[in-house]
Amino acid sequence: MKKLDKLILKSFLGPLLLTFTIAVFVLLMQFVWKYIDDLVGKGLEFSIIAQLLLYASATFVPMALPIAVLFASIMTMGNFGEKYELIAIKAGGISLRRVMMPMAFVALLLTFIAFYFANNVLPVAMYKYRTTLYDVQRKKPAVSIRPSEYYDEIDGYVIRVNGKDPDGRTLRDIIIYDHSEGINRTNIIVADHGYMQSTPDDHYLVFTLKNGYTYSEPQDGEYNETRPLTSIGFDEQVLTFDISSFAFSKSDDQFFAGHYQMLNVVQLDSMVGALEDQLDFRYGEFQKMMVNRMRVYQYYQEHADDSAAYLDVAKLVADTTVEARNRYYEQARMQLQGSLNDVQMYQAMIDSDKEYINRHYIELMRKFTLSVACLLLFLIGAPFGSIVRKGGLGMPLVASVIFFVMYYVIGMISEKSVRESAMGPVGMWVSTFVFIPIGALLTWQATTDSSLFDLHTWKRWLRIKEKVKSGSESKDTPSPTEEEDVKGE
């Protein structure tokens, strides 16, 4: 039996690792395509890009692992069935449950590994990923001044050059628009040629300009009419631009701390308790506000038996002038509108608090659901592969994609329902509850050698049905002699 277990594990682990790698790679390429504009043209070091891709890959593990288990189980059992190895194993007195046991042990082990990863590794990886991505998006593009183009990435300056030597430093026919002193004063620097270089720490960009003029044109002020334009010639002028914002800088380590995606199970449970206490406090504030807004109504409710209170109000309204009554009505309308605005404001705040709490519940339940998905999808993939008996890459790939898309779509719908408070936190388990009966049915069909899902059985049944139908039609059709007798009569 040990040799058989080794054969099964060898056949299972290969497709598992291959599918897991491909799934992570596909998700990573989707990430790169989405953020390609933030990565290209900024002069980022390779180590920064490698760290970002590594952290992003770690965030894809909880999604890639279940689909890898599903595909590998379908492919392994399908190969055994297609090559008649499964029939030979059963002929030797070994049940299908025993054949699935080594793979089930691996799937169960991956379930615990996935939970440990989601609870301990994923929060750290998500924190590093978010921080690094934010820093990359915040970094400005690298200084790249091209001929015949206006460059305005440096704050307060617009630079244009008509020529640039192959050394990348020598510039020809330079025009610099200086708006650093405000929009009311524009300085224009024109130079025949110059040199461009950055300081060793890359915090400053130094322009050394040769043979040029500086034109100063004030837009307003006391010298606007008497001296509207000033021109100063120079043989050499040095300009220094601050480009420290172009350098890659890391954010504060506590910038993203406390986000629900970066907390483990214990921290999420503690945070949910604190947020629910805050929501209860919000309800208390709302109640107090409504009591204060409706204190007059509450007074008359408490003195409902005292008809004099109502008579006084009626007399007050009857004895006043039209203008006074209109003023009273306007004040009442404003009080009512103010109460309605407060109700809408508190309703919006309460809905926002509920959604934020639900997001914590979703992240808490996701750590369990994605882990259980490894075992659940194995209990679907292994029986399905033994029933269809198709190996290779075609049938297992199509079946695994269909099953996983169904699981993922149901999970997304239930997650949205939980987020909008249409369902409780248990709604995150809807996809699991839907797939458990499917897995149980497939396992029962596979272990009992049922032909319900066997394509060959359905084909034979259809051929038999066609033969029976054609035989009945031939009996109902009269022979040529019978037709002649009928005509003679």
Q: pLDDT tens digits, the chain, 489 residues: what are they?
A: 578 888 888 888 988 999 899 989 998 998 888 888 777 766 677 888 888 899 999 999 988 999 999 988 888 888 887 787 777 887 877 888 888 888 889 999 999 999 999 999 998 888 888 888 877 776 665 566 788 888 877 777 888 888 888 877 888 888 888 877 766 667 888 988 888 887 776 677 888 888 888 887 665 555 555 556 677 888 888 888 877 666 555 655 566 667 788 888 888 888 888 888 888 888 887 777 777 766 655 554 454 444 444 445 555 556 556 676 677 667 667 777 777 887 888 888 888 888 888 888 998 999 999 889 999 999 888 888 888 777 677 777 788 888 888 988 998 999 889 888 888 888 889 999 999 998 888 888 877 766 555 556 666 666 666 666 666 655 555 555 444 454 444
List the 170-178 sheet strands across, edge first.
Answer: 149-151, 157-164, 170-178, 185-198, 204-218, 230-242
Query: Residue 300 half-sphere exposure, CB side, CA atoms within 13 Å?
Result: 10
Instruction: Supply the pLDDT for residue 25.
Output: 92
Instruction: Supply the pLDDT for residue 311.
Output: 44
Positive or negative, the CA dihedral 374, 375, 376, 378 is positive
Rounded to 5 degrees, φ, ψ at 174 are -100, 135
Instruction: Supply the pLDDT for residue 487.
Output: 45
DSSP string, 152-192: --STTEEEEEEEE-TTSSEEEEEEEEE-TT-TTEEEEEEEE
Instruction: Supply the pLDDT for residue 486.
Output: 41
Nearest partner of 58 among 122, 123, 127, judged by Cα:
122
The predicted model scores a pTM of: 0.67
DSSP string, 285-335: HHHHHHHHHTHHHHHHHHTTT-HHHHHHHHHHHHHS-HHHHHHHHHHHHHH
The H-assigned helical ranges of 83-140 are 85-91, 96-116, 122-138
Query: Residue 276 half-sphere exposure, CB side, CA atoms within 13 Å?
Result: 9
Instruction: Supply the pLDDT for residue 308.
Output: 46
For residue 177, what are the β-bridge partners?
158, 188
Q: With contact defined as beta carbons under 8 Å apart, do 10 and 63 qualify?
A: no
Measure the CA–CA gap between 388 and 386, rounded to whole angstroms.
Answer: 6
For residue 161, what are the β-bridge partners?
149, 174
